[in-house]
Every structure is written in structure tokens, then in C-alpha cells.
Structure 1
Amino acid sequence: MELAQVRLFVSDFATCYRFYAETLGLTPQSGATGGPYEKFSPHAGSAGIALQDRAAMAEILAELDDAAAGHRSLVVLRVDDLDAYCAEITARGATLLHGPALLTDRMRVAHLKDPEGNLVELQEWLLLRG
């Protein structure tokens, strides 16, 4: 398992995009200035910071519809076999909120909370960028 990213839920995607790209100088992965998602990479290291439009993610996890609920971030972990890992962690007491399910043609995901209520996304990459 490896840390893939720390994702920040934002309501003003374009402003946050400019902050991370222009102000902080991080490198955007795709140039999706309008969202709903963009990953930014530092000049060194494998994990990055990603912005996620809150409304787009709320289509998957309805509790994100309420910004006042306090969810501002998401820890993302990449695993090799999502189904096997989810079976393993649910056997150890974890409760899945969503998934495993296809998110895009390149990725399957599952979501859960840690004991403090922080959101965690588990990713299985089906296709890698060429």
C-alpha cells in the first residue's frame, strides 16, 4: 500500500486551483482548471495534493453535501486488490460507506471513516496513464 494523495474538498475550485498552481508553484497533472478534480505534484516525491469539487464528490458520498459537517479532506490509499483488501478490513471491524465500485474507467474505489470520522478512500487503479 502507498499514500497516493491528500485530497482537499473545495467549494471554489478555480480559486483553489490557481492558489496551488500559481501561488505555491505545484505542477498540475492535467490542467483541469474548472474541475471537478486535479492533482498537483511537488517537484520531488510520489504523493501529491489534490483538489476535489465538493459537489461532485457528494454525488458519491451524500454527507459531503453539507460543508458545515466539517469534512475538508480525504486520505487516499492505493491498494493492489480492492475487493480482497475491503474483505480484510471489514473482517477486522471497518465499515464501508461506499463501494467497492467503479469510479472511472481507470479506477475502482471504496470509502470509509477512521475512528475520528476522517474520510478514507481506497483506490485500485485499473489503467495507468501512459
Structure 2
Amino acid sequence: MELTQIRLLVSDFAPVYRFYRDVLGLKPQFEAEGGPYAKFSPGTGQAAIALQDRAQMAGALGRSAAEPEGCRALVVLRVDDLNAAHAELISRGAEFTRGPGPMGDRIRAAYLEDPAGNLIELQEWLVLRDQAGSAPA
């Protein structure tokens, strides 16, 4: 597994976005002040800090928008084979909130929680960002 990002789940997206962009000076990969998702990369080869609208994440998990209010962060780990990682973690006692499934057209993801209730997303990249333009739609 490879740490790809720490994602902060936020209810008021724009002010948090501006803080990371304007105050901390992190460069967003794309302009997205209105959300619902943004990614700031501190440097090449380093894990990123990302922001995601809390209500959107709740919807992806099949929860009500109010339910994840206590959860503020999401750790994202990239795996080469999501199905294999999912099966291995289940064999170790992990209980998944949502099993492997598509997350857009470039990623498959599965979700679990640590004992404190923090979300963990396992990602399998189907298409790398630099290959997305050449991939069939």
C-alpha cells in the first residue's frame, strides 16, 4: 500500500479551500473553490492534502449527510489490486463500510473505518492521471 493523500472532510468547502491555497500557499491541481473536491500537492512524489465535501462523501457511503459529522479526515491508500487487498484485510478481521466499487471512471475504491471511526479509502487506479486523456471514454 502507498499513502496517496490525507483527505479532509469539510462542511463549508470554499473557506477551507482558500485557506490551503491562499494562506498556506499550496498549489491546487485544478481550480475548484466551489468543491466538492480539491487536491493540493506539496511536491512531486509526496502524499497530497485533499478536501472533499462531507455530504458528498456521505452519499458515496450510503449514509445520511448528517451522519459523518464527527469524521473529519480520510486516509487514502493506493493498492495495485483492490479485490485482493479487500479479501486480505477481511481475512485479518477488517469490516468494510463499502466494498470495492467504481469511483468515477479512473478509480475503484473500498472503505473501512479504524477503531476510532476514521475513514480509510483503498484505491485502485484504473487509469493514471497522465493517461486519462488517451483512455477510451
Partner residue of 1:30?
30
Match status 1:71 vs 2:71: yes
- 1:48 maps to a residue whose letter is A
Would you identify which runs of 4 or more consecutive aligned residues in structure 1 move more than 3 Å? none
* Structure 1 residue 43: Cα displacement: 3.6
Structure 1 CA distance for aligned equivalents of residues 69 and 11 of structure 2: 14
> Where does the alignment leave 5 or more consecutive residues of structure 2 unmatched?
131-137
Output the TM-score relative to the length of structure 2.
0.88
Output the TM-score relative to the length of structure 1.
0.93
- 1:75 maps to a residue whose letter is V
> Does the residue aligned with 2:17 lie in a helix, a strand or coil?
helix
Is the Cα contact below 8 Å between 1:8 and 1:50 reproduced in 2?
yes
Task: Give the RMSD, CA atoms, in angstroms.
Answer: 1.6
Partner residue of 2:5?
5
Partner residue of 2:96?
96
Q: What percentage of aligned pairs have identical amino acids?
A: 60
* Structure 1 residue 60: Cα displacement: 1.2
* Structure 1 residue 116: Cα displacement: 2.0
User: Where is the strand percentage greater, Structure 1 or Structure 2?
Assistant: 1
* Structure 1 residue 68: Cα displacement: 7.1
> Where does the alignment leave 5 or more consecutive residues of structure 1 unmatched?
none
